[in-house]
Amino acid sequence: MAEKNAVILKTYNWDNESAIRQIDVRKSKTGAVAYLHAADDATNLHNLRELLRGKGWATSSDTREGKPVLRVSGLQDENQLINIALQSNFAQGTPRVTETTPPKEKGFWNWVKRNSLIFSGWVYTFGNALYVVSGFVRKDMDQARTGASFAGGDILLAIFGGKNEDRQLRTLLTKLKSHLNTHGITIPDHAAINTETDKGKNSKFFDFMGNNISIFKALAEVVAGVFYFRAGAKQKNPWKQTTAIIFGLGFGSSIFIKEKKTDPNELKNAGFFKKAWAYWQEKPLRIAGWSGLSNTVLTTAGAVEKGYKHEKGMAPPAGDPHYKWDLATAGTMLVANNLYALSNKGAGKITSGSIIDDVYGLAAQVINQQPTEELRNKAIEETAKFLGERTEIKEHTAQAKQHLIEELVRLNNNPWSEAHQKQSPVVTNTNAVPTMLSSPLAVAHVNEEKMAGLQDQKEEKIVLGEHSGKVVKMQGEEKTHQISA
């Protein structure tokens, strides 16, 4: 049974007397995530955050459309959260509730590309039925076994090949945790990323199948290639034997090619072979799907030859009265293989801006909680490198790094941040000139206690430069200093 995960968006709004003005909820089969918007003059927000943590939910300071929010995850539904907000008097009165569903994919072609993997599974399955029937018609069991073997992978494509935003987020965050741990970055126990990646057995099963579906498909193709080669030998059809070798090798090799996003800046001065390899790495299923097109071309060639000889009155194996079955399967596989070549091996590109915001917000929390500046800088570099290579995220490494730094600044200016609950000023002389900072983390000033002092005393403002580094401005004297990026 396919994983159904319809998403519902709900918004709860309160009047101006409430400290919590709005709660946005993103609800799916696997649970709910809520985003709390506080009034500008709200106080003691840390008390509510601690109360929510006490319920076992994960919290992280975040932003939505440029506005600071508290992200709460690990919810089964939002009802208990709403009750807590009301009972603690952070929200007062009956909220106005609106419910919507996420907008559908714009444009037919975008819709096809997003769902190309599952569509290919459906078309492949129809073609496989033709293989099986033609095998029985010919009384050639190797032909029938070819279709049955194909079906072993294609039915899984039709079931598990659909895109799912929750799975995309879980997959990306799970791999990010593994990457950071491999490079010596410890994930704090209370980080919200742990809640996002710790789902039930049912979700883990669907995640595993969805993320590894191309492997099952490739293995099925290799097995089918063996039977198709044997069928070609029995039918004295070298065209079938040739294509069996080509698509068997093509699909088999796709298992071992790591999917990696192409960075145009890295390829500016690259040679032909490096650019070609980058092209295949961007979507390894291209080599699989396009090698499968040999099935269309060569099977069609064989069918035309056999059909021509049959119409001329030549008996099998020179002619083949069942050549029309081969033409039908070849046409079906033409569509299916092109759809497959459009697809990603993994979860695919994330199109939801909200999910991308979650990725950067959760990653920033992990970075922010590293115990030393050295580790925080390393976490920025490794996270940016990881995201820069992943096909789920559009941004390349340099862009991802800048995005992370900006997210860290927003995090520490967020009234929900724990930094705002601490009093630890670092500037005591309002005429002092800030010292030169030498790292992105120092620019972002991710140390929460220092950031709290700067924010509470309004003595220093952090501003990100667009291209040539970062600038720190003193509000009092308007002195600026260029800082290395």
One domain, residues 61 and 87:
yes
One domain, residues 194 and 307:
yes
Helix boundaries (H) for 187-200: 192-197
Whether the CB-CB separation of 475 and 463 falls below 8 Å is answered with no
Question: Has residue 457 got a pLDDT over 50?
Answer: no
Range in 27-36, 107-116, 416-425 with the lowest mean pLDDT = 416-425
Average pLDDT over residues 50-78: 88
CATH of the domain at 54: 3.30.1360
| pLDDT tens string 157-198 | 999 988 778 888 888 999 999 999 999 999 988 888 998 888
One domain, residues 167 and 28:
no
One domain, residues 275 and 417:
no
One domain, residues 366 and 311:
no
Whether the CB-CB separation of 138 and 326 falls below 8 Å is answered with no
Average pLDDT over residues 384-411: 92
Strand order in the sheet with 96-100: 58-64, 67-75, 31-38, 20-28, 8-13, 96-100
Question: Has residue 475 got a pLDDT over 90?
Answer: no
Choosing from 316, 341, 366, the residue where a domain stops is 341
Average pLDDT over residues 328-342: 93
Report the interhelical angle of 201-234 vs 285-311 (nearest 10°). Answer: 30
Average pLDDT over residues 111-133: 92
pLDDT at 347: 66
Where does residue 152 rank: exposed (0-12), middle (13-18), buried (19+ CB within 10 A)? middle
| pLDDT tens string 283-304 | 999 999 999 999 999 999 999 9
Higher pLDDT, 1 or 302: 302
One domain, residues 94 and 117:
no
The total domain count for the chain is 3
Distance (Å) of CA 474 to CA 394, 429, 430, 448: 35, 12, 9, 19
pLDDT at 155: 95
One domain, residues 323 and 405:
no
Segment holding 20, helix H or strand E: strand 20-28
| Amino acid letter for position 225 | G
pLDDT at 16: 72
> The domain containing residue 44 runs over which residues?
8-100
Q: Is 348 among the domain residues?
A: no
